[in-house]
Chain A
Amino acid sequence: DSGVTQTPKHLITATGQRVTLRCSPRSGDLSVYWYQQSLDQGLQFLIQYYNGEERAKGNILERFSAQQFPDLHSELNLSSLELGDSALYFCASSVGGQGAREQYFGPGTRLTVT
């Protein structure tokens, strides 16, 4: 158990809909990272937040957005969903915010878009 929690574990929704994925980092960690993992693309870094502020941006689509709240939990919002958005979404956390430090991953949310 990494100490990172993600909810929900599974999510099934229809094309065009909007969903919110939630992540709580390990106690004491200030950085949260979001990833998308699909069979063909592998693990793709989406975005990092550090202590409430966006720190780095990867391959995140404009239809996706994230935020980190004062209690350090983070949410990833996915809108206008397409079939290709079906994937595992992971959240990870780390202590520092300078760059991509060693990260501790949550169990993931499996999103299925039908």
Chain B
Amino acid sequence: EDQVTQSPEALRLQEGESSSLNCSYTVSGLRGLFWYRQDPGKGPEFLFTLYSAGEEKEKERLKATLTKKESFLHITAPKPEDSATYLCAVWSGGSNYKLTFGKGTLLTVNP
């Protein structure tokens, strides 16, 4: 059974204090890995898709990387507006694929 584990469950940072969020996965046949950001009471907002080990993508203060077992979301010099829950999801399988989400990391950035 596909498993996605995100750590830490919660992370509190000071503004400007860089850190990383982890998403480790066990799937049969990874097709893609997604990162989303979710604000309270709202739908997730798409950030990145990574398809193969070694791939990296960047957007503003965020950088996502992928290995064969895990993905990292690096946050450089975060600002209070980066506070949110960050979700990762893995896509695996064939025509009837599986899409499995982790439970997320709640990031709080204090000014």
Say whether B101 contacts A42, CB under 8 Å: yes
What residues of chain B lie closer than 8 Å to A99, measured between beta carbons? 31-32, 91, 97
Say whether A106 contacts B101, CB under 8 Å: no
The answer, yes or no, to whether B87 is at the interface (CB within 8 Å) is yes
Give the number of chain A interface residues (Cβ < 8 Å): 21
What residues of chain B lie closer than 8 Å to A44, measured between beta carbons? 101
CA distance A72 to B102 in the complex (A): 29
Minimum Cβ distance to chain A for residue B94 (Å)? 9
CA distance A5 to B53 in the complex (A): 35
CB-nearest residue of chain B to A107: B43
CA distance A101 to B42 in the complex (A): 20
Of the candidates A4, A56, A58, A92, the one having the most CB atoms from chain B within 10 angstroms of its own CB is A56
Say whether B43 contacts A106, CB under 8 Å: yes
What residues of chain B lie closer than 8 Å to A7, measured between beta carbons? none
A residues near B (Cβ < 8 Å) are: 2, 4, 42-45, 56-58, 90, 92, 99-108
